Amino acid sequence: MTELKELPEVAKSLPYPCKKCDGEKYHRVLVHKTSTSAQIECEHCGSKKTLKIGVKKKVTRKKRAPKNEAPEMWAALNEKVGTEKIKLYKMSDQFEENQALDHPTFGTGYVTKALPKQIEVVFPEVIKILVHNY
Ligand SMILES: [Zn+2]
């Protein structure tokens, strides 16, 4: 939608989304209702609606992304475990908790959970579930 700072003059046309027409259509300004709203009419289907300007849009809150815990966890494990015994990650290998591994895409990671077929690995930027014992 076009952002308007001032009300368009009466009888002017402006593109505006029309629900009936299912798209942006030219709407003619019929009358200013208040200093920040005007009645407009779709030139295509004749439906009337109110155009408002300068009204702060309700900020639709983006779902807050869960806090990325990876960097802190990774740093702690990096300090504790180090990379001396780092193993190249292979699906066919078995990994234990606290094992350092080297992943071709994600880099150095530390196993935080080891399940029979899966491991949870914390990388500097992301926590991943990987397969092992494959
Ligand atoms: Zn319309």
Report how far residue 78's alpha carbon sits from residue 110's, in angstroms, rounded to the nearest whole number.
8
- CA of 5 relative to ligand 1 center, distance in Å: 23
**Residue 57: what pLDDT?**
61
- CA of 20 relative to ligand 1 center, distance in Å: 5
Asked if residue 124 has pLDDT above 80, the reply is yes
Asked if residue 3 has pLDDT above 90, the reply is no
3-state SS class at 88: strand
Contact yes or no for 71/42 (Cβ under 8 A) = no
Any idea what DSSP says for residue 89? -
pLDDT in tens, 81-99: 999 999 999 999 999 999 9
Residues whose beta carbons lie less than 5 angstroms from ion ligand 1: 18, 20-21, 25, 42, 44-45
13-52 architecture in CATH?
Answer: Single Sheet (2.20)
Average pLDDT of every residue of the chain: 91
CATH 2.20.25 region(s) of the chain? Answer: 13-52
3-state SS class at 15: strand
Contact yes or no for 12/4 (Cβ under 8 A) = no
Furthest-apart CA atoms within the chain: distance in Å: 76
